[in-house]
Every structure is written in structure tokens, then in C-alpha cells.
Amino acid sequence: MIISNFKKKISFYDLSLFRICYIISLLLELISPIELLAGWINGIVVCWGLIISMHILFSCPEKFDIENKKIIIPFMILGIFTSCVNFTANIIMNIVILLNNFILIFLIFGMGKNTSEDKINKEVCFILKFIIYFSFLVSILGLYVLVRHVSIDFMGYKLGLIQNRFFGISTNPNQLGFLSVISMFSCDLLNDRYMKEKFKINSWILNFCMIFNLITLFLTDSNASFVFITVYLVTRFFYENFSKYNKFKDIKIVREMVFVFMCITVVVSASFLMRVACQKIVNKIIKYRQINSESLHIDDKIFDEDMKIGRGNHEISSGRILLFKQGVQLSKIHPLIGIGRENLSYYGKIYIDGGLAFPCRHPDLHNLYLTLIVSYGWIGFSLFVIFIILAIYKLAYEIFVWTYKLESKFVSKLFAIIMAYFSYANFEIGILSGVTLSDALIWMYLGYALAIVNFNKKELPEKTGSQIYNNY
């Protein structure tokens, strides 16, 4: 009986279950000791997604009827054409990236077309909670390693403090910073009345998790993540300030802009001072551990006298300016159609003296827009920009028209995350750049926001809606 009911609830073709497993597998890849295992799990989940896609394509093709489909399909075709024209040993990986992009766009971004409203709300609530608790656990374990050992070797991986950057138990401090930021965003989303009215959520737990994530963000010293959260706050302040007016002509533009600017200045200055203070406190703890290890003759760890958290005086771009110049050079090879996402390293060895700077397993230019231009050319970049602008314009328009609805503030938070992400992507691995957590989440945020907009437009009272439209 129990097994029978379980089978009825769980389906192999359950898109909501797939999206949850996909996000979780990407989150697990951030943990150093299990990175390889999580990679295999993610590969299996991607294959599962492809099977689901083929099943839907032949049984329910209407579920692929996403927003602005006529723009994204030529983009996908261009990606296939580019990979064939630039045929190299990386052709398999280029195809994998294209297939993953297909999953991201049609199964995750298109959730509003292929999943019911109630199921989407439950799914996203679960994912947000999982991100918060997962990030909290990662922060706690990372801080324990830092305070107890400063830096250790575990299963062939270095944990804790490495080259004056706080890795914790993650694979990269920038990715750890990203995880901390999206966890804080998740706390903010779940604290919204829209979610609280649908699900039982404990605000005290969310606030507690947010504090630990903020400490972790300070210690990672990730400038890109600070840009991420700063732009989010700017967008949120802007919306909160201007949405209180009933008509645009009533807005006191100068006064409100000055107020927003002052708020942002205070927040940025305070966060900078808090980061410095947090790093100094941790440095004192590290110094104490160094002295204590010598007095107690601790042999399990030999501390470096210069070991401390914070990069100090360093090249502020962390090599991104050099990468940008190299990316511009690569963009000249096939300016219209690009060279293919996974051919960056291959063409870098041919056209750049010494090859692409900072080579790694999945080389990237650490700039979303330049990576798209190099990978898919100006044609692909133009198609992508049109697609994103149309989606963002629809969200921006609706959240100001809907100021009277409960969902408006919640969607405005999703909108703020999306705007912040496209600023963050100037400095880190961006959208359609691989099988990454940041890539999947932005499509989830976009898809969820548009799904809420579309679901509520069907319920919009004609009289109330027309009255509000007339105000604008």
C-alpha cells in the first residue's frame, strides 16, 4: 500500500523533481571532498533531463511553448552550427553544453508552461530552503576548519585558508561567496509575505542563517559577490522608494534619487567596514592559533607566519583585465558566429602567445557578455540580449503595474536578483557558460518570476486592472 502510494507520487517524468535534483547536484559540486562524485551525479541527472525532454517533445510539445521561443530557437541552432564549423576534439563537450542549455531554457526557464502553479510554488520553496540549510552547513563546517586548524589537507583536498583566501570546505572562494549571497537572497524571499501565506516559515531561523552567511561572505573576500549583493540592494531600494507613488507624475525624482544614493552609500560603507573588521578578528584568531601551536608543540599543522585572511594589496581585477584583452583577441576569429563555448582553450593556444590566462578544467573569460560574443559571435549575442531584454521588460512593467497586489513585492525581489546577477556576471562565470549552479539558478529565478506574472495576469480583475493601467 505504502509503496503503491509512493509510486503514484513519484514519476520518472516529474519535471519538478528533476529540477530539484539538478539544483542539488550542482550545489554538491561546490564541496571539495565530494566534487568528483557530485560531478558524476550531475551527469546522470543531465541525462535524465534529456530523456524527459525527448519524452515531452513527442508526447506534449506544447510544454515547450516558452516566452519568446522564436528568438531562443535560432540561438540554439546557431550554437549547433558554430560547433560544427569549429569542429575540434572538444566537439563532444560543445554538444554537452548545448544540450544542457536546452534543459536550462526549456525545462527550468519554461517551468510556467510545463508545471502547475501550486507545484511550482512548493518546488521553489523547497529549493530555497535547501539552499539556505546547505549554505549554513557549509559555513559552519568551513568556519570550524578555519578556527580549529586554519588550513588542513583532507582526502587530498586543501580546506580552510588557502593563499590568504577563505575556501572553507568549498572548491573556490568566489563560488563560496556566491553561495552565501544566494542563501541570503533565499532568506529574503522566504521572509516575504507571499511565501509566508503559502508555507510555514520560521523567520528566526532564516535570520540566524543569514548572519552566518554574511560572515562567510566577508571572509571569502569575493569582490564579485559584493557587487552581486550591492546591486540587489540598489534595485530593492529603488523599487521600494518609487512603488509607493500612484502615478509617475507624482514622483519627486531628485529627492528620491538622492535618498536612494545616500542609503546605498551607507550600506556599502558599512559592509566594507564590517568586512575589514571581520577579517581582522579572524586574523587575530589565526595568530593565536600560531602561537598556541608552538607553545603546545602541535605537530599536525605547521602554520605559516604570513598566513592571514584578506588579499591585501593585489591587482584589483585578479587577472580579469588580461582575460578581457585575450577574449577580445579571440572574438576576432569568427566575429559573427563565434568559436564554440568549449573551444576557448584550444583557440587560445593557437592565437594567443602562451595560451589563455588562468587555464583550468573549464576555461572561462569571467565575463558573461564577452564569453557569449567569443562563443556564439555577435549574432548569438544579439539574439540572447533581445531575449533577456524582453523578459526583463515584462517583469519591470508588471511589478509597477501590480503595486496593489501581494505578489508584486515578491516578484520585485526576484527582479532585483536578476538585475544583480547580470552585473555580477561581468566578473564571474555567467549564463549559458556551462553546467554551473549560477547558470541554473538565474534561469530558475527568471522562469519563476515570469510564471507568477503569467499566472496572476489570468486572475487580474478587468476593472481594477484597467484603472491601474490608466494611472500610467
pLDDT for residue 397: 83
CB 141 within 8 A of CB 169: yes
pTM: 0.87
* pLDDT at residue 195 tops 50: yes
360-383 pLDDT, tens digit per residue, is 556 678 888 888 999 999 999 999
pLDDT for residue 434: 76
CB 104 within 8 A of CB 66: no
**Which of 58-67, 261-270, 325-334, 379-388 is predicted with the least confidence, judged by mean pLDDT?**
261-270
Q: What is the DSSP letter of 131?
A: H
**What is the band of 8 on the pLDDT scale with cuts at 50, 70, 90?**
low
Maximum mean pLDDT: which of 264-278, 303-317, 377-391: 377-391
pLDDT for residue 342: 84
pLDDT for residue 300: 45
- Which neighbouring-strand residues pair with 160? 151, 168
* pLDDT at residue 2 tops 60: no
* 420, three cell numbers: 544583480
CB 401 within 8 A of CB 100: no
pLDDT for residue 137: 94
* pLDDT at residue 249 tops 60: no
Average pLDDT estimate for 414-419: 93
Q: Pairing state of beta strands 165-168 and 151-154?
A: unpaired
63-85 pLDDT, tens digit per residue, is 888 888 889 899 999 989 998 88
d(CA 298, CA 279): 24
Maximum mean pLDDT: which of 29-38, 91-100, 269-278: 29-38
**Which of 199-203, 290-294, 423-427 is predicted with the least confidence, judged by mean pLDDT?**
290-294
- The mean of the pLDDT values for the chain is 81
Average pLDDT estimate for 82-97: 85
d(CA 357, CA 362): 12
Q: Is 418 helix (H, G, I), strand (E, B) or coil?
A: helix
d(CA 47, CA 296): 53
Of the chain, the percentage scoring pLDDT greater than 90 comes to 27
Angle between helices 203-220 and 223-242 (to 10 degrees): 140
pLDDT for residue 51: 94
**What is the band of 202 on the pLDDT scale with cuts at 50, 70, 90?**
confident
Maximum mean pLDDT: which of 9-18, 29-38, 353-362: 29-38
Cα-Cα end-to-end distance for the chain: 57
**What is the band of 298 on the pLDDT scale with cuts at 50, 70, 90?**
very low
Maximum mean pLDDT: which of 122-126, 307-311, 401-405, 429-433: 122-126
